[in-house]
Amino acid sequence: MEEMTKTEQGREQRRKEAEQRAAERKSRREASAKRQLDADIRTYGAGSMAIESKHGNIYDVETGSYDAAFNKEGTDETIGNDAIDQIDAAAEAGGGIPDGYEEREVILCKDGQPVTGDILFKES
């Protein structure tokens, strides 16, 4: 069996140290996340909507609860078609404003500057 050169020994030592630092960082992140979750539970209560939405879970209106499984759907999509709805409806001639709506001029703020535009508005 060959002996390692001093250069190889140094590389191996640095690799082990880097692995140890990475493990320590991961442990600190996990501990921090646990402390934050515990604080959120004390503040909002277990299973609270505030906690679930904070963790990015999607609310299922049929069951009335958050479901993390919904976050996994569509992961096989490509960048080109991800989150793009395809609607197969023929364009209607004429367009116009739908019944019950009116067009209103609005002023919005974009990058700190006023921007004007029109929106469709329907009183409820």
**Residues forming a β-bridge with 102:** 121
At position 20, the amino acid (one-letter code) is Q
Say what the pLDDT of residue 85 is: 54
97-119: average pLDDT: 87
Residues 28-47: tens digit of each pLDDT: 988 988 888 888 888 877 76
At position 118, the amino acid (one-letter code) is D
Q: Could you give phi then psi for residue 24, rounded to 5 degrees? A: -65, -40
Say what the pLDDT of residue 60 is: 64
Residues 55-92: tens digit of each pLDDT: 555 666 677 666 655 555 555 555 555 555 555 556 55
User: Would the pLDDT of 17 be above 90?
Assistant: yes
Residue whose pair of structure tokens reads 């921007």 in the numeric block: 115
Say what the pLDDT of residue 23 is: 93
**For the chain, domain boundaries:** 6-71
Residue whose pair of structure tokens reads 């409806």 in the numeric block: 89
Q: Rounded to whole angstroms, how far apart are CA atoms 97 and 20?
A: 64
More confident residue, 95 or 14: 14
